[in-house]
Amino acid sequence: MRTITVFALLAVALVVSAAAGILVGAVAIAPGDVLSALLGANDTSGTIIRELRLPRVLGAALVGGALAAAGALLQGLLRNPLADPFVTGTSAGASLGAVIAVALGLEPLLVPLAAFVGAIGAIALVWRLARLGGRTTVLTVLLAGVVLTSFAGALVTLILVSSDRLALRLRAVLGWLQGGISVISWSELAVAAAVVAVGVVGALLLAPRIDAYAFGEETAAALGVDLDRTTAAVLATTALLTGAAVAIAGLVGFVGLVIPHALRFLLGATHRRLIVASVPAGAMALVLADLGARSALAPAELPVGVITGLVGAPFFLALLVRSRRVIV
């Protein structure tokens, strides 16, 4: 009963936030005109709604859903709520991959692929470093993530400063580094949606085996989980979701951290239910954050990463303080 209520509320909240995201913008458009624009009216409002606001809202929803699902996967694998793509350095790896692709002048539709390659390289490296002591602990994962994030950030800046191609789009790229959902084409959106769909299905298939990690890797193995294969599959799925999100929005922190953790209190710990709920909840959260980023200092626009950082970082610290006894 409780589960049904939570899912129903999530669905309503997602629809309401998406509607708000479409209705509110730099140019005031009456709700009736928005509706006719969505139905295909051929005027300025139609162009603004269909080519700017709708793709942006859908983009934000995809990014938020993907990051929240990826966060649920990482938290499950580390059996600790202090993990998400951002703090583990996965997002930074993805952004490095994406920036290299843009600097090399690759086809825009290849950017998500490059981001995926960067993400999987980063998470594999972090996991390898964290395993040096024999068992994977969240503390070493976070430390490795911090180091990797600053290293990847340095490389990204280096590429930005030295590349002519990027210099032209410097403002856009800087916004993207802070996390920003800039103008998205329908084709980019379609590619990202397909990748996120594959990632979410993969996450749902892996979920029951992630549950078995509850008491640690050794117990998971005793319960019949093939650790190497499962860990690799979970990390690859995380990288897929993170790559798609970063290709659209750059470095958006903490959505993946806050959403699964908050939902766990409402829905319990089993990962299949958690992931099913994390996707719409993350989508809603980022649509709202993007709406806040657009309206807070209107007509100026904040990168959405500023909003998620302002909300998420204190949340992370509070979590750190509360769980310091069990962080190792």
Q: Are 255 and 286 in contact (CB under 8 A)?
A: yes
Q: Based on CB atoms, which residue is closest to another protein, 84 or 290?
A: 84
Q: Which amino acid is at 238?
A: T
CA dist., res. 155 & res. 150, Å (int): 9
Nearest to 203 by CA among 243, 225, 230: 230
Minimum Å gap between C-beta 253 and another protein is: 21
- Binding another protein (rule: CB under 8 A), the pick from 126, 159, 177, 225 is 225
Minimum Å gap between C-beta 231 and another protein is: 13
Minimum Å gap between C-beta 158 and another protein is: 39
Q: Based on CB atoms, which residue is closest to another protein, 133 or 208?
A: 208
Stretch that binds another protein, among 60-68, 78-86, 94-102, 248-256 (CB under 8 A): 78-86
Minimum Å gap between C-beta 220 and another protein is: 8
Q: Does 221 bind another protein (CB under 8 A)?
A: yes
Q: Are 177 and 102 in contact (CB under 8 A)?
A: no
Stretch that binds another protein, among 29-37, 207-215, 282-290, 303-311 (CB under 8 A): 207-215
Minimum Å gap between C-beta 167 and another protein is: 46
Task: For residue 40, count CB atoms less than 10 angstroms from its CB and return exposed for 0-12, middle for 13-18, buried for 19 or more.
Answer: exposed
Minimum Å gap between C-beta 222 and another protein is: 4
Q: Does 224 bind another protein (CB under 8 A)?
A: yes
Minimum Å gap between C-beta 30 and another protein is: 46
CA dist., res. 240 & res. 245, Å (int): 9
Q: Does 19 bind another protein (CB under 8 A)?
A: no
Q: Based on CB atoms, which residue is closest to another protein, 150 or 219?
A: 219
Residues 105-164 that bind another protein (CB under 8 A): none
Q: Are 210 and 35 in contact (CB under 8 A)?
A: no
Q: Does 318 bind another protein (CB under 8 A)?
A: no
| SS3 annotation, 25-80 | CCCCCCHHHHHHHHCCCCCHHHHHHHHHHHHHHHHHHHHHHHHHHHHHHHHHHHCC
Residues 44-73 that bind another protein (CB under 8 A): none
How many positions of this chain bind another protein (CB under 8 A)?
A: 32
Count CB atoms within 10 A of the CB of residue 119.
35
Q: Based on CB atoms, which residue is closest to another protein, 106 or 197?
A: 197
Q: Does 222 bind another protein (CB under 8 A)?
A: yes
Minimum Å gap between C-beta 204 and another protein is: 8
Stretch that binds another protein, among 18-26, 53-61, 84-92, 263-271 (CB under 8 A): 263-271
Stretch that binds another protein, among 15-23, 95-103, 206-214, 277-285 (CB under 8 A): 206-214
- Binding another protein (rule: CB under 8 A), the pick from 211, 232, 262, 292 is 211
Nearest to 98 by CA among 166, 197, 15, 148: 166
Q: Based on CB atoms, which residue is closest to another protein, 264 or 294?
A: 264
Which spans of this chain sit near another protein (rule: CB under 8 A)? 79-81, 204-209, 211-212, 214-216, 218-227, 264-265, 268-270, 272, 323, 326
